[in-house]
Amino acid sequence: MIKKIIQYIVIVCFSFSYSYAEVIKDIKISGNKRISNETILVLGETSISKNYESTDLNNTLKKLYETNFFKDINISFENGVLAISVIENPIIEDIEITGIKSKSFIEDISNEITLKDRMSFTENQLNKDIDKIKNILKVNGFYFAKVNSSINKNDDLNSVRLKINIEQGSKAKIKEIVFLGNKKIKDKKLLEVIASEEHKFWKFVSNKVYLNKSLIDLDKRLLENYYRNQGYYKAQVKNSFAELNDDESSFKLVFNIDAGSKYFFNKLTLDLPDDYNINDFDKVEKIFSKISKKEFSLDKVNLILDEIDNIASLRLYDFITAEVEEKVVEKNKINFNFKIVDSEKFYVERINILGNFQTIEEVIRNKLIVDEGDPLNELLFNKSIDRVKSLGIFKSVKTEIKNGSDKNLKVIDLNVVEKPTGEISLGAGVGSSGSTIGGGIKEKNFLGKGINLSTNLEVSEESVKGRFVYAKPNFNYTDNTLFTSVESTTTDNLSDFGYKVSNVGFSFGTTFEQFENLYFSPEVNLSIEDLKTNTNASSNLKKQEGTYEDFYFNYGLNYDLRNSSFRPSKGNKTTFFQEVPIVSGNNEISNTFIFTQYKKLSKTNDMIGKASLYLKAINTLGDSDVRISKRAYVPYQRLRGFEKGKVGPVDSNDDYIGGNYITTLNLSTNIPTILSTVENIDFSYFIDFGNVWGVDYDKSINDSSALRSSTGVALDILTAVGPLSFSLTQPLEKKSTDKTEKFRFNLGTTF
């Protein structure tokens, strides 16, 4: 390398001291065995009869060295003869990567490094590739890996065989995650926000417990976005670092956070060009009036930009872009001005999709709002890229806009980097009402078609549930998700209630956004159910024994106005679900309604109140009775203080048979001032009301409506073995047949 630099300096100095031009009469090339004379002339950008200046010596030398074909080059020009003498770099016969068992991992490394078979070999490029391999290993958690190389030279053929040996070592585990600084939010919540997880012995299938630079970068973005959605406008993760523990095999991951103070929206304005109609932006003005004086939220700013996107997508204004101007006033208030400006008028000539080795191009193009031939609207273009990223199947999505064949045409290169899309999860729980264990496998990009596959199995003391789901997003370019599922459930209540139900079902449906924030989910369901009883069952239950074939049309409406799907602090969510029989032995029709409201109760802390109303009714359309497997029971978490399934009507055998109607009301709030200094504990207070009534198959059973209620406190603790929840409940009102449960705990985890 030093020799090259000296050559450059000498030639440059020579060119300054003695500059002339002379026609090349002859070119003599020596030393080349593999690279032809013609190739050297093309690479050096020279030829006979060319008017050659002394400064061209430097350019030719530079061009030839840039090819990496040559170890040494000497050039001279005298009496019209250009002499080029070269020593070629050896060629790589093959590259062998050892020390890694996974063939796919070896392929990933081979694709990332620059050196390939049949390429010229240089020591400098080998060192760069070794550094690349080390970085790849670190990204995958192998921080203790060692990489070395050996070179087997063949001087006769001027070739080398390259061997790269990798000692992976053990993966760098995250033993502890620590949040420092002016964080203002408990560690328990922050651990739920980030993607990285602390290593536990049972999390053997999770990659999130290993140190991963890409994952840490994601953690920082997630933390900053979470804080900014809680009003902390200037929140930042000042730094993050991994500290090697004393065992020298694990790390402590540290995030240093400065939350700053809470900020509030102050004055919000819309700045439009003179020839724009303000009425086209009336929805933006409505959002302004709703959020003015409210706590700052990054999501609210994005909501405004999304609404401007919608206006652009309706083609009211094709060539617009939005600039957000922010100004802090009065210490903790922010003025926002959304300036709409005309952008240059360009059209999309072509979109090139690059880097999609597994994913078919259609999956990516389906997410693009801006297509070939459309106006190049900056807002819609950025939204298109966000939609591609939202697929969750790419490590990165980058774009480059280049000039097209005409001055008003643009070519877009969209380059994606794919990532693994499979996921394995396992879960376990144990509590005062029993224990469960389950697991599942998910794939987000089956066959490279963007198809989602998931299968899961859950086993508890009285039931076994299994389900397989196939979902195709944006089916037939409609933005609708099409799904089909197969499920099987066996519930064994022979010892407690004298019956056992086995059900196998198939469903087919779709989900789409009908209106803003309103999602519609229709589906058809076909199931076969086998109901068995034993001597413990009552005579009425025994009458229902048999096999049932049902064909149902089900649909759901979901209207979500929460400020966040993760730990919402305000807003509400309304859900309605109906099951309508098409062909059925009993013709049961079921209706379920759920409304949940969130509200912040304090301006000085994060005290969030929650009220949830649950209503359910199930009846038959004819004279038949609702069979026992379809009857309604109060959901376990909606009436605490009572044993699971042991509330409501009982028959002559003292079996709990559920009802035709259910209503519950849950009021709760967290109390952040209690145990506020303890990071991994949340304390809350609740009041539950509930009722279950209606028995259509036996008029002699007392099914009178009676309100049940309870109150209590709950404690959620993040322990070394998973989340642990306790509730201490005092029933306030009950019936004599109800069975109470004052203390309840649950220990569960996923990995």
Domain boundary among 151, 167, 183: 167
Same domain, 208 and 69: no
Same domain, 178 and 231: yes
Return the pLDDT at 749.
Answer: 46
Return the pLDDT at 228.
Answer: 93
Same domain, 324 and 208: no
Same domain, 205 and 296: no
Report which listed range, 143-147, 314-318, 661-665, is most confident.
661-665
Q: Between 368 and 378, whose confidence is greater?
A: 368
Lowest-pLDDT range, 43-52, 104-113, 162-171, 571-580?
43-52
Q: Which residues share a beta bridge with 76?
A: 83
Smallest CA-to-CA distance from 347 within 322, 377, 303 is with 377
Smallest CA-to-CA distance from 712 within 639, 634, 635 is with 639
Domain boundary among 241, 258, 275: 258
Q: Which residues share a beta bridge with 612?
A: 596, 666
Q: Distance (Å, rounded) from C-alpha 337 to C-alpha 236? A: 23
Same domain, 471 and 615: yes
Residue 679 has pLDDT above 80, yes or no: no
DSSP assignment of 555-613 equals: EEEEEE--S-SSS--SEEEEEEEEEEEEE-SS-EEEEEEEEEEEEE--SSS--EEEEEE
Mean pLDDT score across all residues of the chain: 85
Here the CATH number for the domain that contains residue 200 is 3.10.20.310
Same domain, 182 and 162: no
Q: Distance (Å, rounded) from C-alpha 469 to C-alpha 456? A: 9
* Continuous H helices in 82-179: 103-112, 123-139
Same domain, 178 and 159: no
Amino acid sitting at position 76: S
Q: Are 385 and 399 spatial neighbours (Cβ–Cβ below 8 Å)? A: yes
Tokens for 663?
A: 């209503």
Q: What is the dihedral of CA 719, 723, 729, 735, to 10 degrees?
A: -150
Helix (H, G, I), strand (E, B) or coil at 712: strand
Tell me which residue range forms the domain holding 158: 91-167
Q: Distance (Å, rounded) from C-alpha 560 to C-alpha 572? A: 6
The pTM assigned to this predicted structure is 0.62
Q: What is the DSSP letter of 184?
A: -
- pLDDT band at 746, cuts 50/70/90? low
Domain count, the chain: 6
Q: In the chain, how many H helices and how many E strands?
A: 12, 33
Residue 573 has pLDDT above 80, yes or no: yes
Q: What is the pLDDT of residues 454-495, one digit of tens each?
A: 898 888 777 899 999 998 887 776 778 889 999 999 988 887
Q: What is the pLDDT of residues 291-344, one digit of tens each?
A: 999 999 998 998 898 888 778 766 567 777 888 999 999 889 999 999 988 878
Smallest CA-to-CA distance from 658 within 695, 700, 707 is with 695
